[in-house]
Amino acid sequence: MVLTLAHQVEAELNKALAPLDLTVSRLGLLAHIRAVPGVSFSDLARMSGITVQSVHTAVKALERSGLVRDSSARAGSASVIEVTEEGAHLLRAAQEAVDQVDEHLFGPNSDPTRRQVGEAILAAFRTTD
């Protein structure tokens, strides 16, 4: 049941993020870069659950889009990846889209069963903090 719900949430999020030219994966990567200043490619790969090679490819795409910059991209030196102002603006817009999906799927006017499952999941995370 949780997998079905996760699939529904991801589908709704991808639909809401599409006008921003984002996917859930791209949003996650961009949010990790903002949340962890100076994060390494290896750490990004671990946080995102993808390979380092995939992270390099994804970060280069974010860089070409003007959403991040690698201020020390030189052979042999550690990267310092950071979100640009344009990336920060996109993250704010994406948060609004995520909030709308959350409200649609789990808010007071949503399916009562789905809302209960969402509340149970939230409660489970609150007890582990």
The answer to whether 32 and 39 are in contact (CB under 8 A) is yes
Q: Which of 125, 128, 121 is nearest to 1 (CA)?
A: 121
Q: What is the pLDDT of residue 73?
A: 58
Domain count, the chain: 1
Q: Pull the structure tokens for residue 3.
A: 């997998």
Model-level pTM greater than 0.85?
A: no
Q: What is the pLDDT of residue 107?
A: 92
Domain of residue 120 covers 2-128
Which position has the token pair 């949780």? Answer: 2
Alpha helices in the chain (DSSP H): 2-17, 24-35, 41-48, 52-64, 85-106, 112-128
**CATH of residue 121:** 1.10.10.10
Q: From residue 14, give the alpha-carbon distance in Å to each of 62, 66, 71.
A: 17, 21, 30
Per-residue pLDDT of the chain (129 residues; tens, 9 = 90+): 778 888 999 999 999 999 999 999 999 999 999 999 888 888 999 999 999 999 999 999 999 999 999 876 555 556 788 999 999 999 999 999 999 999 999 999 999 998 998 888 889 888 755
- Beta carbons within 8 Å of 56's beta carbon, 6+ residues apart: 41
Q: Pull the structure tokens for residue 68.
A: 């991040």
